[in-house]
A = this chain, B = another copy of it.
Amino acid sequence: MLRSTESRLLHKVIQAIKEDNKQVFETTIEELQPYDLAQLYVNFPVSDRNKYLSYLSLDQLAKLIQALTNKEQLEVLKALSVEKTSQVLERMDNDDLVSLLSSLEPDKIKKLLAGLKQEASDMIQNLMKYPPETAGRIMNNQFVWIYKSYTVREAVDKLKHFAELAEYLNYLYVIDDRKRLVGVVSYRDLLLADLFEKIEDIMKTRVVHVDAWMDQEKVAQLIQRYEFVTMPVVKEDQTLLGVVTVDDIIDVVYQEANEDIEKLSASGKAIDFTTKPLVAASRRLTWLILLLFIGIVSGSIIASFEETLDQVVALAFFMPMIAGMTGNTGTQSLAVVVRGLTTNDLGWKQVIKLIIRELWVGIIIGVACGILIFIIALIWQGSATLGFVIGISLLCTLIIGTLAGTIIPLILYRLNIDPAVASGPLITTINDILSLLIYFGIATLFISKLM
């Protein structure tokens, strides 16, 4: 889509509303996708937004809302009458509705649910029982199921009947009379089969599925590996509850990647372009204050070596370099481990292999950087002993920093703690403190030769 086409479209729609020409309005937006409807709303002059909303049909409103951000959704709901709100909510995909409701106060949720039909309200409340970021929370019921006793003809009839409802038609899930998931039939299978064949004779009985309590990151991993567009979700007793669709999984992958980056950079949870300064600042402050105290611990280590430092001030010149390098090599290892874990399962064998690999990496970069800094220090400060002290310190801290960056996230992973959290405080603290201890420890050993 060209930007110019978009602005031309916006112009046309504004014009139609100004002229109160409903027919032009309708033909203009007829073929638009939910995202386009949402973009129109966002770019509409604020004063005319309500008029734009009033021109849309209930179905179009439901689509529009699904493509908006949370803040904008609430804005739109405020502009709609109570009755219209209920009608629009009922037309939304249930996973989108759950995600909208999740952001509201319990009171407001109750009020909105009260407007819905009993059945719809019950279903939504059932979904909201699953914790956030699980398969149960992001699944929806926009899929077609069939009984295994159906014939192909019955299945095709049902499919036609629900074609408007179901988003993804690639697979039909097959259940038995107790609603347990027992098979899957692809659309192709139906097209190629004889109309009178039984579904249970043509279905595949091996169905890859997930439990409603499974973490969404794990579900994303499975959908990626199997290249599915929908993944069936079941209860403990194998009852089919819903499907997770690939469009939600793309959102999950973006979201989880952002969470990893947030944690790795300690940038604070969920700060985006529209977050208010005070909110963004307070989210980041948590980490910064922690880091401030870590900085004070480092400072007190330096203070405890005050005598050494006082005798050889030049040691201070190399302090930021050593601490910085150690922190950096730790973060490098951490990043490799954290991202590797998003797409790999790790057994003990691979863990050992990975640690040995990183040990070698640490030794190689330690030797290379150690020699380099020895030469630099020798030329700059004209002291081979100082160069030697700094070189050996860097070698040791780089090896230890690399190992800490590898082992700590792996331990957390085994303990079922998100390893990305490890970055901010743990790795930084440990590497900062260890590097200063090693550096000043070695320097103090050689102090008589340094002076």
Contacts and interface: CB of A to CB of B under 8 A. Distances in A.
Interface in A314-354: 314, 316-325, 327-329, 331-336, 338-340, 342-344, 346, 350, 353-354
A32 B206 contact: yes
Contact of A296 (B300, B310, B331, B376): B376
Q: How many copies does the complex hold?
A: 2
A303 interface: yes
Nearest to A1: B208
Given A187-B169, A204-B31, A281 B227 contact: no
Interface stretch (A70-78, A119-127, A156-164, A442-450): A156-164
A267 interface: yes
Contacts of A436: 320
Interface stretch (A53-61, A128-136, A254-262): A254-262
B272 A364 contact: no
A268 B335 CA distance: 10
Interface in A358-392: 358, 360-361, 364-365, 368-369, 372-373, 376, 380
A407 interface: no
Nearest to A253: B253
Interface stretch (A80-88, A106-114, A282-290): A282-290
Contacts of A329: 284, 288
Contacts of A324: 291, 294-295, 298, 323, 327, 428, 432
A194 interface: no
Given A284-B365, A288-B325, A369-B289, A31 B205 contact: yes
Most-contacted residue by chain B among A191, A299, A313, A365 (CB, 10 A): A299
Contacts of A353: 273
A281 B319 contact: no
A265 B227 CA distance: 30
B302 A316 contact: yes
B303 A344 contact: no
A153 to B, nearest CB: 14
A251 B1 CA distance: 23
A1 B306 CA distance: 59
Given A163-B188, A284-B361, A310-B313, A33 B208 contact: yes
Contacts of A32: 206
B321 A287 contact: no
Contact of A265 (B298, B335, B354, B358): B335
A168 B280 contact: no
A309 interface: yes
A8 to B, nearest CB: 13
A99 to B, nearest CB: 14
Nearest to A346: B273
30 contacts: A1-B222, A31-B204, A34-B226, A67-B225, A168-B170, A224-B251, A250-B250, A254-B257, A254-B342, A254-B343, A257-B261, A258-B339, A264-B264, A265-B332, A265-B335, A266-B332, A277-B358, A277-B364, A278-B364, A280-B357, A285-B368, A289-B372, A292-B325, A296-B321, A298-B324, A299-B319, A300-B317, A319-B319, A323-B324, A324-B432
6 shortest A-B CB distances, which residue pairs?
A295-B321, A257-B257, A277-B360, A265-B335, A299-B317, A227-B247
